[in-house]
Structure 1
Amino acid sequence: MILQSLVHLYDELSRQGKVAREGWGIAKVSHRLVLDEEGGLIGIVSARKKVLRGKKEKEIPSDMMVPLPATRSSGVKANFLCDNSSYFLGVDNKGKPERTKECFEAARALHHQILDGCHSAEARAILSYFDHWDVAGARDNPLVQTNLEDILGGSNFLFHVGNKDVSDIPEIRDAWERYYRSGSGEEDTIKGQCLITGKKDMPIATLHPKIKGVLGAQSSGANLVSFNAPAFCSYGYDGEQGQNAPVSEEAANAYGAALNFLLADRTHAKVMGDTTVVYWSEHGEEAYQDGFLGMMGDEGGLTDEELDDVLAHMKEGRSSDIGGISVSPDEPFYILGLAPNAARISVRFFLRNTFGDILKNLAAHEERMKIVHSSLEKERIPLYWILKAMDNPDCRKESAPSTFWAGKLTNAILINGYYPEAVYKNIMRRVFLCHEKSSGGGKNKEKKIDYIKASFIKAYLLKNCGMKWEGKIQMAVNENCNDISYVLGRLFSVLENIQKSANHGINSTIKDRYFNSACATPAAVFPLLWKLTNAHLGKLDQPKAAYFKKKLGMLMDKIAMPDTGTPLPHRLTLDEQGAFVLGYYQETQARYAGKKEEK
């Protein structure tokens, strides 16, 4: 299903002119080998482009459309028109002169095989170059000596004749495409039925294309499909590589080109922890990606009002407009999560659904996340903010919990499934471990209970523990909720407020010393807090003391008094501790909102 979807995307993108047509690909070219009409080398010219890296300008190879490069693992296999110095100059620093000569001869044979029937001056110049270039004395050539450092650096070279790149010559392009369609002209090419397209008598890909742009994978590219050990092969196909699951060269190159296109364009790819998420619509329209990116909490070029309008249309099953493009709720939409592995790329998840249903799932998550907050806070919470809330700001990225749970959390949100319990536990852990003390120059790195943590705790309780908390937990403080854990959280906020009112300018409050124990074992802590509160109330003027006593009385009335023992639970479960945190957060936010109204 993954490969079929990518092949279909390739067909759509090639019709739109966004990717190279069959037989062509993008290569990084650093130099041009300039030939005269007789095939003599008259120059080695830089093809690099200048880009800004930070504050410095740097030269990097240019991305150029060339005949599709061969997939190499080992052995000698030449590319047409564009290749490295081993194949085109017979010069390298590998210390194997015999192999280097073999590479040059392979390139000469390939170019003769393709261009022998061509009559253009450019084709004759290339063949003449290969026939007359002296491999034995190549390193002593003045042009090679001048550019030796770049040549030995593994650069790719493209032939250039008569002020033209030879890849732009129509006759040479036609010759290459005839050769490519014939099955690469190799006598030992295995043919069979392609599992992706269903076409019969097709050249089967032994090695699949390299995929570039997956975070943590090899920068030179890694395989999505490969068979390099008997354990991965079907019975009887040990060591047969591509024959184990036959995919035609046409389909393999198509899915590779489509996936590399998505990964190269960061509007189609998003990194979540160690998972690189790519997404696309069946017809390759970018408007769908913009809408999806906006609902994930990123800008996506859309305002909140535009996203709300799109979502309203999707819920009603009607098409909407994004950037002048009509988007349909019934458009198939694909989301693929990729992560690095030792030898190949690992697929974390693959989802196929209609665009409307995926947006509805994101909206359901967004609705659960809604909670009262400061007007300065962003309404839509990006997914990576939730992941960041799991981590200690001082921990190394590779050991951060978000690195391991990003893929599962993303998948849960997109299918409207249960949130991973580990994400909730890690966020609660950060609540308990964080101490809002100034450090590193007097600036807090992390808040104990902030908008993001409270939002996810609320969403988790409503989704994973809905039978218990549905109707009890709302966006703002729920005055009618009598659950003991939620009430105690609100009560703790009031006790803290009393302490602050009685001791103006206090540096630390009961939250710094007692919050964690009050949340976990309330029966052991609250009697002490009430004793402290009585002392604080004695410091207040009568009207303010009366207000706080009334507030305390209202909350105490919600706590059921048993016939024997303490009315407070000795220990709260983990979900009850989350409700305690929410009660504290929402009561505190209500207090701030009340102060603003008074002002």
Structure 2
Amino acid sequence: MLITQLAARGSGNRPHYHRDRAVRWVISIDTAGTASLLDRRTGDHRAGSLISVPYLVRAGQKPPPMLLVDTAEYVFGIAKDDSDKAHTTAQTRNDDYLALLQQWAESSSDPVARQVSEFFSDEGHLKLLNHLDDATEAELSVSDLVGVMIDGAWAHQRPSAIAFWVQVARARKSSGAEGLCLSCGTAGPLLKTIPDMVKGRLIPVGVDSHGRPKQGRDAALVSINTAAQGRMGAVQLVNTPVCEDCGATVMTALNDLLADPDQRRRGEDTVFTWWLRVPADTSWMDLDTPNREAVEKLLRQPHIGRPRPAGNQHDSEADEQDELDSANQFYALTLSANQSRVIVRDWIDVPVRRIKQRLADWFRDHQSTQPWEDGLHYVPLWAMVQASGRWDRHRKRYVAGSAAHGIEKDLLRCALHGGAPPPHLMAGLLHRIRNDHHVDLARVATLRLCVNRPPYRHSPEKETIMPGLDETATDPAYVWGRMFAVLETIQRTAIPDINTTIRDRYFTVAMTQPATTMRRLRSNANSHLKKLTGKDSTKPAGIALDRKLVQLTALLDRADGMPEHLDNLGQTQFIFGYDHQRAADLAAMREARSDKENAAAALTC
């Protein structure tokens, strides 16, 4: 289960009940007892750099203090405003903070604990506050975190402080009951509530009207506050018994994962994170910047999730990796937030071999050629998401915020679980293309994924659409797409400075009514070919293009010919044919140019 695997991952070297927080101010006390207030703000860290400090989730009417590192309201007694209530609250919180320091000093023989307690008991913090210059006083905010240093060392990092804080935290969070931990299976004291929350900045909660990310709240992984939420009216962790070690370790591990850019993928309102039972390289999980070499290595890895063919031999390195993947386990979690609660959108627990097979299938099912560069290309998931939106032909980019709603989550799930894209994706993409006539790698790859994984297909045996030009394909819609690309080339060759091409004028109707459009464009092409073949300079090109049209026409069935109308699948095949033919023609041009340059270079040598 999720909590068990997060607890098993561990929390590194961080003590229980600690969290990385930005500490802005430091009360620095030297050996002579002289104190000064230091500002830790830097150009890169406006609120101070992160440091592991004592932390517990606190709530209620009288939230208790943290040990040594807390807000200026607790440390100095600074009120939030000038009201009597605010001043009374600040004084109460400062008294609680001082009492906690006194308890630390009384429970320990650590001289630093006594020194800190005596400093605050003698009102050293108030004297320090009263002698601040105007600039520092203006900068000091009631919500800023303040820590304490003795002779240049953090007081809260003393072994006595860590041990004391664990005792305090245990007393605050313990349910007072003993039982069997649901995570580790051991008997002992159980927690009342999870001691930490997921940091608000780690789970996206969407964007505002200006397209800027919203700031979320800290959110609880397990939160049962009322009887209506719990099973049989039980609240808090009664139905999710967790021991202290597991509760602290789970949240530390989860926050560490969500904060690691190499172990997470942030969406608009969700975050996806992953880890392995036995830590290993997971660069193959990069869906947003797929590296061709890494993807092809993944595609070449034998037997990912498949039985080994009889008599097939493989090198020892591949076999060794295959065995490691079979023995290792992959875990992944997709989270979103609703106010102060975490929502688990997806949980994956599969062998590494299986997730690698799913990702290999993902790349294999959408890989495509493109006109501007040779070879097969793998499209970032974010680019597929954008491709479902509107194309701005003037700015030459997709309109921000116009992508299909929820498509990012759908495609991510498709990649991770190996299922089909949502049925509306193909129809939506075709609608966009008919409106803006824009065909690029991302749209072609997404359409290829839709065709290779139709929602109605349940058989593991499937007919894969070729990623590049298929010169033997006789599907009328595919052939018509190829013909349209050739007809466009004929027009451009005959009229090099043309402003409006047949793609601009006829692409939409060509996608839906091929027979009528073909007759009209074929008639126009005859005049262009006559013009080309009538000049010595363009005659070879005219003959080659005419021959290409004849060859493509021969692929059509004589009886059925070109259909009058195309459905969604037919329109998709048309786009494939058009894009593949363009890519093949430009690749041939690049090859011919390269051969010519190489021949010229050889003559000069």
In structure 2, the residue matched to 1:117 is 107
Whole-angstrom CA distance in 2 between matches of 1:23 and 1:343: 19
Q: Which runs of 4+ in 1 moved over 6 A?
A: 137-140, 316-319, 465-469
Residue 522 in 1 paired to residue 522 in 2?
Answer: no
Instruction: Give the Cα–Cα distance (whole angstroms) in 1 for the partners of residues 187 and 551 of structure 2.
Output: 78
Distance 1:36 1:552, change over 3 A: closer
SS in 1 for 2:453: helix
| Partner residue in 1 for 2:247 | 252
Q: Please name the residue that 1:429 is paired with.
A: 431
Q: Deviations over 1:88-118 (max 9, x none)?
A: 2111224412221221222233333333121
Q: Which residue of 1 aligns with 2:602?
A: none
What secondary structure, in the 3-state scheme, does the structure 2 residue paired with 1:569 have?
A: coil
SS of 1:78's partner is coil
In structure 2, the residue matched to 1:156 is 145
Equivalent residue runs for 1:233-272 within 5 Å: 233-237=230-234, 240-243=235-238, 245-272=240-267
- Point out the more displaced range, 406-415 or 250-259: 250-259
- Secondary structure class of the residue paired with 2:343: strand
Q: Unpaired segments of 5 or more residues in structure 1?
A: 52-57, 436-447
- Cα shift at 1:579: 0.7
Match of 1:558 in 2: 555
Could you tell me how far 1:307 is from its partner in structure 2?
A: 5.3
Shift of 1:75: 3.1
Seen in structure 2, the aligned counterparts of structure 1 residues 87 and 60 have a Cα distance that, compared at 3 Å, is closer
What CA RMSD, in Å, does the superposition of the two structures yield over aligned residues? 3.4
How far the C-alpha of 1:456 sits from its partner, in A, is 2.2
- Tell me the residue number matched to 1:195: 182
Match status 1:372 vs 2:359? no
Q: 1:509, CA displacement in angstroms? A: 1.0
Q: 1:150 to 1:327 in 2, by over 3 A?
A: farther
Aligned residues: 555
Within the alignment, does 1:584 sit opposite 2:586 as a pair? no
Structure 1 residue 578: Cα displacement: 0.7
| Counterpart among 38, 41, 48 of residue 45 in structure 1 | 38
- How far apart, in 2, do the equivalents of 1:220 and 1:272 lie? 17
Q: In structure 2, the residue corresponding to 1:91 is in which secondary structure?
A: coil
**How far apart, in 1, do the equivalents of 2:35 and 2:273 lie?**
45
Please state whether the residue corresponding to 1:184 is helix, strand or coil: helix
1:377 and 1:478 map into 2 onto residues whose CA distance is 15
| Residue matched to 1:8 | 8
Q: Which amino acid aligns with 2:572?
A: G
1:232 paired to 2:221? no
Within the candidate set 346, 349, 360, 1:349 is matched to 346
Deviations 1:505-537 (CA, angstroms, capped at 9, x unpaired): 212211111111110222443332233223323
Q: Secondary structure at the match of 1:539?
A: helix
1:463 aligns with 2:453: yes
Q: Which AA in structure 1 matches 2:144?
A: S
Equivalent residue of 1:43, what SS? strand
In the alignment, the residues of structure 1 paired with residue 103 and residue 65 of structure 2 have an alpha-carbon distance, to the nearest angstrom, of 12
Deviation at residue 21 of structure 1 after TM alignment: 3.0
Letter of the 1:459 counterpart: L
Deviations 1:533-564 (A, max 9, x none): 233233221655554443333333333345xx
Instruction: Say which SS state the counterpart of residue 372 (structure 1) adopts.
Output: strand
Question: Using the alignment, how far apart are the partners of 1:485 and 1:187 within structure 2?
Answer: 68
Contact persistence 1:41–1:129 (CA under 8 A): no
Distance 1:160 1:337 in 2: 40
Match of 1:55 in 2: none
> Is 1:214–2:203 an aligned residue pair?
yes
How far residue 477 of structure 1 moved from its aligned partner, in angstroms, is: 1.8
Tell me which of 24, 32, 49 is aligned to 2:26: 32
Q: Is residue 102 from structure 1 mapped to residue 96 from structure 2 by the alignment?
A: no
Distance 1:422 1:252, change over 3 A: farther
In the alignment, what sits opposite 2:379? 381
Going from structure 1 to structure 2, the CA distance change for 1:502 and 1:47 (only over 3 Å counts) comes to closer
Q: 2:217 touches 2:339 (CA, 8 Å); kept in 1? A: no
**1:593 is aligned to 2:587:** yes
Note if contact 1:280-1:288 (Cα within 8 Å) is conserved in structure 2. Answer: no
Taking the aligned partners of 2:174 and 2:497, their CA distance within structure 1 comes to 86
The answer to whether the 8 A contact 1:50-1:60 is kept is no
Seen in structure 2, the aligned counterparts of structure 1 residues 73 and 450 have a Cα distance that, compared at 3 Å, is: farther
Code of the residue aligned with 2:186 in structure 1: it is K
1:371-410 to 2 correspondence within 5 Å? Answer: 371-373=368-370, 374-375=372-373, 379-392=377-390, 397=400, 399-401=401-403, 404-410=406-412
3-state SS, counterpart of residue 233 of structure 2 = coil
Q: Which amino acid aligns with 1:388?
A: Q
Say which SS state the counterpart of residue 103 (structure 1) adopts. Answer: helix
Q: Distance in 1 between matches of 2:127 and 2:179?
A: 43
Contact between 2:494 and 2:528, CA under 8 Å: does it hold in 1? yes
Partner Cα distance (2:547, 2:341) in 1: 65
Shift of 1:377: 7.7
In 1, Cα distance between equivalents of 2:112 and 2:586: 77
- Unpaired stretches in structure 2, ≥5 consecutive residues: 206-213, 306-314, 393-397, 594-605
How big is the shift at 1:319? 8.6
Q: Distance in 1 between matches of 2:98 and 2:292?
A: 59
Indicate conservation of the 8 Å contact 1:496/1:510, yes or no.
yes
Verify the 8 A CA contact 1:263 1:278 in the aligned structure 2: yes
SS of match in other structure, 2:16: coil
1:561-589 C-alpha deviation (Å, 9 max, x unpaired)? 45xxx843332111211111001111122
The 1:74–1:561 alpha-carbon spacing in structure 2 relative to 1, beyond 3 Å, is farther
Question: Closer, same or farther in 2 for the Cα pair 1:316/1:279, shift >3 Å?
Answer: closer
Cα distance change on mapping 1:219 and 1:236 into 2, 3 Å: closer
Is residue 2:50 matched to residue 1:63? yes
Query: Aligned equivalents of 1:140 and 1:80: distance in 2?
Result: 20
Cα offset for 1:6? 1.2
Seen in structure 2, the aligned counterparts of structure 1 residues 596 and 207 have a Cα distance that, compared at 3 Å, is closer
**Cα separation, partners in 2 of 1:540 and 1:162, compared to 1, 3 Å:** closer
How much has 1:270 moved relative to structure 2? 1.6
Give 1:487 shift: 1.5
3-state SS of 2:580 partner? helix
Pick closer, same or farther for the CA change 1:247–1:186 going to 2, 3 Å: closer
Structure 1 residue 474 displacement after superposition: 1.4
State the partner residue of 1:482: 474
Contact conserved, 1:194 with 1:204, CA < 8 A, in 2?
no
Instruction: Give me the whole-angstrom Cα distance separating, in 2, the residues matched to 1:573 and 1:273.
Output: 33
* Structure 1 residue 360: Cα displacement: 1.7
Name the CA distance, whole Å, in 2 between partners of 1:468 and 1:264. Answer: 38
1:450 to 429, 440, 443: 440
Following TM superposition, by how much is the alpha carbon of 1:74 offset from its aligned partner in structure 2, in angstroms? Answer: 5.1
Distance 1:253 1:187, change over 3 A: closer
Which residue of structure 1 aligns with residue 601 of structure 2?
none
